[in-house]
Structure 1
Amino acid sequence: MPLALWALVVGAFGIGTTEFVIAGLLPAIAVDFDVTIPVAANLATSYALGVFVGAPLLIIAGRRTSKKNMLAFLALLFVIGNLVTAIAPTFQVAIIGRLITSLTHGAFFGIGSVLASEMVPKEKRVRAIAFMFSGLTVANLVGVPAGTWLSQLFSWQVTFYTITAIGVITFIAVLALIPGTPKPEARSITHEFAAFGNAKVLLAMGITILGPAAFFTSITYIAPMMTETAGFSEEALTWLLMVFGFGLFVGNWLGGRYADRALMPMLYATLLAQAIVLFVFHFVATSQIASIICIFLMAAFGFATVSPIQKLVMDKAKAAGAPTLASAVNIGLFNLGNALGAWLGGMVIAFGLGFTAPNWAGGALSMGALVLAIISSLLDKRAAPALQPQGASTS
């Protein structure tokens, strides 16, 4: 992989760490600002909302700026946001810091995905996108535990100062490693939104919402599921989540390695496998060994879909004329899918269906994503004859 891709990996690592580490810092933050933990959780909620809203706004605002300069600006914004959170004298200022930071998330991954695919030969494009997303998986494996440890050893502010330093490294790496990119042609805002009227783009985005949401439906409620049903101790949750993080890492490698060869078959296989694992998990959650295996497999198959889905959206949006905006918005849709998964899992539990119910609910979401993927392929096949020159053989 080109050395320039490492700038994107470092940025992805910092973004992943700042997004997910907040869960381990909430008790300390709540005490520091004298608020309840549910109120402190607004630091996570505000971030998620900022990701969804910020991506299209920043892409539209920077549509006449080169990709390299835009990434440098986003890295700088990331530094400012985390620094504001670290030095925040009040909870309200900390929220503002989180909102500033969240604005970089969707746009960075969106622009980074397009840039990564442009840096490598056609047959390695999904692998390049997956390589960038590896920073996100390593953040779950290393960044989040390390950030939580720093908070316990020193303070939660030290964690955010450290993440700020990662942002500075990203800024320097973008300037030093990423080659200059041309300034894009001036286009109207209407043109930027053209892709969102395309049925194939919307289908791909539907897969984005339903696919990864499937494993998020389960993992959101993994604590009560494992302690109440499987009989694990609360202390075991830390390494169970590490098993999940390792599954994300393996799945990202799997998706990047094989989707370049056959994107849609890879997507069919991983979505179906994810559904099967989740359905099985519902019935075997009383077994500790089976639960460990299912946690790993649902993470692996679930995250194996991420880089292929991102590439699918980029391909469909490129044909419609707005790949960068669609790519960035698609990152926000991943977060929307996470919210959908958490809501659905909570709903089936609230209906008295038990702590294992989120598993079959997630399996249903994965099957829904598979149906959308099949419909997308059927539309492509129907359109293929129309693209052939008149008189060309269809054999």
Structure 2
Amino acid sequence: MKKSIYIMALGAFGIITTEFGIIGIMPAIAKHFGISIDTAGWLLSGFALTIALTGPFTVLLTSKINRKWMMSLVLFIFVLSNMLSAVAPSFTVLMIARILPAFLHPVFWAVATVAAAKQVEPKDAPKAVSVVLAGLSVATVLGVPLTTYVSELINWKASFWVSGVINLIAFAALSAFVPSMPVTEKQSVKSQLVILRKGQMWVNLVATMIMIAGIFATYSYLAEYLGKISSMNGKQISIMLLLFGTTGIAGNWVTGLALSKNVMLTTRFFLLSLIAVHVMAYLFGGLFVPMASIVGIWGFIHTGGFLIGQTRSTSEAPEAPELAASLMVSFGNAGVTLGTFLGGIIIAGFGIHQVIWISILLLLVSLALTFVVLSKRSAAAGETAVEQQPAEEAFIPEEECVLEV
């Protein structure tokens, strides 16, 4: 793998540390500003919702800018965001400081994943993308615990300074060592929007959203589950979460290799494996040793979901891969919000042990959607029609839906 791919992974590490590092310091922030914990929670959910709602638009608006300098700008904005957060005099200012970089968050992911894929042979593209996405896994293993530890050691403001330094290092490395990436084929917004007519891409995006919702319906409350069902104390839970993230790094790499061989088979095996591990967690959650083993397996499988969603979404839109990648980021964040919301409802109504079943249901729905394949024949006819007709008269017929046997 080229050096620039690893530098982009470092950038991903900084961005995710900024996004999710807030989780461990929210109680301290709530206490400092005298607000409730659910109000402080908007520092995370507001970030995710901003990404979900604006991602494709910001990617389109920045599609003609040199990709290296665009990524550098995003990282620089994240540096400023963390600095402003560290000195925020009020919760309102802190909220604004958090929301501003969220607008550009999808741009980095879309550009970095597509740029990584283009720097290797097509067959190795999933492996290259998995290196960039490994920045996400490492951030959950090291970044989030690091900011939490700094908050406890010094204060919550110091955590933002640490996140800022990480993004600053990534910004410097990317600016100094990554070659220029000019946009040689400048596409108009209209030409990129053509991919929105692709029915299979929408099927894949919806399947990805439901899959990630299924992942996060339980994962968002994993610490609570381990405490209440597995009777683990705080130290043991911390070790389990570290184990979960560490095995996830290896799982992300293995998923990249598998996707290079067969995307659909890997997707279905991933979903079936994740359903199986949820069932095991439900059956053996009350037993310490079996649950510790299950957590390790769970983490190994879990991380591949993001890479699978990324690969399936962009593969259907080679004409505008960055827009497709940004749509995946938006649908993925919508999935996080949906899964956390549904998991909370189940916990409130039926208890933490039963939250497993909403994850299983969502994952089964996502698995079923992998068998929905839209015929390419009518789409190909439509593309021919576009070439033969003036743009304003061109018409792409609807794709017919068939079930894959």
Query: Normalized against structure 1, the TM-score is what?
Result: 0.91
Work out the CA distance in 1 between the residues paired with 2:175 and 2:21: 27
> Once the 2 structures are TM-superposed, how far is the Cα of residue 96 of structure 1 from its aligned partner?
0.7
> Kindly tell me: are residues 384 and 274 of structure 1, through their superposed partners in 2, closer, same or farther at Cα, counting changes over 3 Å?
farther
Confirm or deny: 8 A CA contact 2:309 2:328 kept in the other structure. no
Contact 1:66 1:184 in 2 (8 A): no
- 1:246 maps onto 2:246 in alignment: yes
Query: What's the RMSD between the two structures over aligned residues?
Result: 2.2
Quote how far apart the aligned CAs of 1:298 are: 2.7
Contact (CA 8 Å) 1:113, 1:129: kept in 2 or not?
yes
Q: Which moved more, 1:329-338 or 1:280-289?
A: 280-289
In structure 1, C-alpha distance between the alignment counterparts of 2:126 and 2:36, rounded to whole Å: 43
What's the % identity of the aligned pairs?
26
User: Whole-Å Cα distance in 2 between the matches of residues 305 and 22 of structure 1?
Assistant: 23
Asked whether the equivalents of residues 59 and 106 of structure 2 are also in contact (C-alpha less than 8 Å), the reply is no
Q: Judging changes above 3 Å, is the alpha-carbon distance between structure 1 residues 380 and 194 closer, same or farther for their aligned structure 2 residues?
A: closer
Matching of residue 288 in structure 1 with residue 285 in structure 2: no
Q: What is the distance in 2 between the residues matched to 1:177 and 1:111?
A: 17
Counterpart of 1:392 in structure 2 is none
Residue 108 of structure 1 deviates from its aligned partner by 0.8
- 1:231-264 per-position Cα deviation (integer Å, ceiling 9, x unaligned): 2223322112112212321221111122111121
Q: Contact (CA 8 Å) 2:58, 2:107: kept in 1 or not?
A: yes
Partner of 2:352: 355
Structure 1 counterpart of 2:284, one-letter code: V
Q: Is the 8 A contact 1:214 1:363 kept in 2?
A: yes
Secondary structure at the residue paired with 2:248?
A: helix
Name the counterpart of 2:399. Answer: none
Segments of 4+ in structure 1 off by > 3 A? 184-188, 378-387
Query: SS at the partner of 2:179?
Result: coil
Shift of 1:81: 1.5
Q: What corresponds to 1:393 in structure 2?
A: none
Q: For residues 260 and 385 of structure 1, what CA distance do their matches in structure 2 show?
A: 29
- How far residue 270 of structure 1 moved from its aligned partner, in angstroms, is 0.7
The question of whether the paired residues in 2 share the 8 Å contact of 1:63 and 1:184 is answered with no
Query: How many Å separate the matches in 2 of 1:28 and 1:12?
Result: 26
Report if aligned partners of 2:284, 2:291 keep a CA contact under 8 Å in 1. yes
| Whole-Å separation in 2 of the counterparts to 1:292 and 1:117 | 36
Which residue is 1:329 aligned to? 327
| Other structure's SS at 1:232 match | coil
Q: Provide closer, same or farther for how the CA distance between residues 54 and 164 of structure 1 changes in structure 2, counting only shifts above 3 A.
A: farther
Would the aligned equivalents of 2:137 and 2:303 in 1 still touch at CA under 8 Å? Answer: no
Letter in 2 for 1:115: A
User: Number of residues paired by the alignment?
Assistant: 383
Please say which of residues 132-141 and 378-387 is displaced more in the overlay.
378-387
8 A Cα contact 2:15 2:75, kept in partner: no
Tell me, in whole angstroms, the C-alpha distance in 2 between the residues paired with 1:363 and 1:385: 39
Q: Which runs of 5+ in 2 are unaligned?
A: 384-405
Deviations 1:66-91 (A, max 9, x none): 21121111112111211211111111
| CA-CA distance at 1:386 after TM superposition | 12
Question: Amino acid of the residue matched to residue 367 of structure 1?
Answer: L
Q: Distance in 1 between matches of 2:261 and 2:378?
A: 22
**SS of the residue 1:230 aligns to:** coil
Output aligned runs, 1:306-325, within 5 Å.
306-318=306-318, 321-325=319-323
Instruction: Give the C-alpha shift of residue 347 in structure 1.
Output: 2.0
Cα deviation code 1:78-122 (max 9, x no counterpart) = 112112111111110100110112223221111111000001111
**CA positional deviation for 1:3:** 0.4
What are the superposed Cα offsets for residues 336-377 of structure 1, whole Å, 9 maximum, x if unpaired?
Answer: 11111112212222332x32222121122112212222223x
CA distance in 2, matches of 1:54, 1:386: 29
Q: Which residue of 1 aligns with 2:180?
A: 180
- Compared with structure 1, are the counterparts of its residues 177 and 372 closer, same or farther at alpha carbon in structure 2 (3 Å cutoff)? farther
> Aligned pair in 2 of structure 1 residues 380, 301: CA closer, same or farther (>3 Å)?
farther
The one-letter amino acid of 2:178's match is I
Give runs of aligned pairs for residues 228-247 of structure 1, distance below 5 A.
228-247=228-247
Is 1:72 the equivalent of 2:72?
yes
Deviation at 1:380, TM superposition (A): 6.2
The separation in 2 between residues aligned to 1:101 and 1:158, in whole angstroms, is: 19
**What displacement does 1:382 show?**
10
The code of the aligned residue for 2:156 comes to W
The answer for unaligned runs of 5 or more in structure 1 is: 388-395
Match of 1:204, SS state, is: helix
- The question of whether the paired residues in 2 share the 8 Å contact of 1:211 and 1:369 is answered with yes
